[in-house]
């Protein structure tokens, strides 16, 4: 059994954090698209009331939208975390860490922890900015529950990004493939509209979307609205995040550094 080197995990986490904190344009860019969605969709449909689902009576559209936008930010930032693997391969850094005397699972866990942390920072920044859109303040318990769903959502899609990055060599091809996949995942998740508004056949497909359960769980934590029981959201996300990280680590283990 391969051991986990905590020092290697920490170093990889610290590297991801330093890259994120030094890139002011990355931080600003990660907030621009969510703010545009909140501004145009939120104010454009702000007078709508959302019906259906548990506890959704009297919920304004902008309140309903904010957890979905947080889910969108986590989806994009987490999935594209796999792009760093391709860039490291292109510039030779991946080859250097692959020959280091540490297990590859330690490298994967460090990268995953770093991507989770940066995704969580972006999500909390969006949550803070949502107060400008008259989003109601929440208690500590609700915030902690929302953070649990943020972490699980980020973990699931980081694993997916690692799977694609481990099987590909071209960063441009990675962008094209991932964009082709994540936009349907986003629109099918119920981030922008209630799931019951979808045709029955399309709704059935949305139930296979991991982001559906992440958005629904965050929505329950932040505004008390949910399409599914909380235990179902948590259980499905926990299982999927564990599976995705396992597969991401397995594919990364099998990949070549050059």
pLDDT tens-digit series, residues 180-192: 888 888 888 888 8
Percentage helix, strand, coil, to 5, in the chain? 75, 0, 20
Q: Crossing angle for the helix pair 210-223 and 61-79, nearest 10 degrees?
A: 140
| pLDDT tens, position by position, 210-230 | 899 999 999 999 888 888 999
How far CA 157 is from CA of 120, 131, 207, 215, 228, in Å, comes to 13, 27, 16, 13, 21
> Do the beta carbons of residue 223 and residue 67 sit within 8 Å?
yes
Percentage of residues of the chain with pLDDT beyond 90 = 14
pLDDT band at 233 (very low <50, low <70, confident <90, very high): very high
Counting every residue, how long is the chain? 258
Segments in 130-207 forming alpha helices (H): 140-167, 171-188, 200-206
Average pLDDT over residues 232-251: 89
- In this structure, what is the dihedral angle of CA atoms 181, 245, 118, 227, given to the nearest 10 degrees? 60
First to last CA, the chain: 25
Residue 95 has pLDDT above 90, yes or no: no
Residue 66 has pLDDT above 70, yes or no: yes
E-only strand ranges, the chain: 49-50, 59-60
Question: What local confidence, expressed as pLDDT, does residue 258 receive?
Answer: 45
| pLDDT tens, position by position, 120-129 | 988 888 888 8
CA distance 212 to 66: 14
Question: What local confidence, expressed as pLDDT, does residue 256 receive?
Answer: 57
> Do the beta carbons of residue 161 and residue 240 sit within 8 Å?
no
Q: 54 in helix, strand or coil?
A: strand
């Amino acid at each position: 059994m391969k051991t986990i080197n905590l020092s290697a995990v920490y170093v990889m986490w610290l590297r991801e954090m330093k890259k994120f904190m030094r890139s002011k344009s990355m931080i600003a860019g990660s907030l621009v698209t969510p703010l545009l969605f909140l501004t145009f969709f939120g104010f454009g449909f702000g007078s709508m009331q959302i019906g259906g689902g548990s506890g959704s009576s009297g919920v304004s559209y902008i309140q309903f939208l904010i957890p979905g936008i947080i889910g969108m930010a986590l989806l994009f930032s987490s999935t594209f975390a796999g792009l760093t693997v391709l860039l490291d391969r292109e510039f030779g850094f991946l080859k250097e860490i692959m020959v280091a005397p540490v297990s590859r699972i330690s490298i994967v866990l460090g990268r995953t922890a770093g991507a989770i942390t940066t995704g969580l920072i972006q999500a909390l920044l969006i949550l803070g900015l949502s107060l400008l859109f008259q989003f109601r303040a929440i208690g500590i318990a609700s915030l902690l529950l929302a953070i649990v769903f943020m972490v699980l959502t980020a973990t699931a899609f980081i694993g997916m990004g690692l799977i694609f990055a481990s099987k590909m060599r071209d960063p441009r091809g990675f962008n094209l493939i991932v964009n082709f996949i994540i936009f349907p995942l986003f629109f099918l998740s119920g981030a922008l509209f209630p799931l019951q508004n979808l045709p029955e056949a399309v709704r059935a497909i949305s139930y296979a979307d991991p982001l559906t359960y992440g958005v629904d769980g965050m929505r329950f934590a932040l505004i008390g609205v949910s399409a599914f029981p909380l235990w179902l959201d948590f259980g499905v996300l926990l299982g999927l995040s564990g599976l995705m990280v396992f597969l991401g680590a397995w594919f990364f283990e099998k990949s070549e550094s050059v």
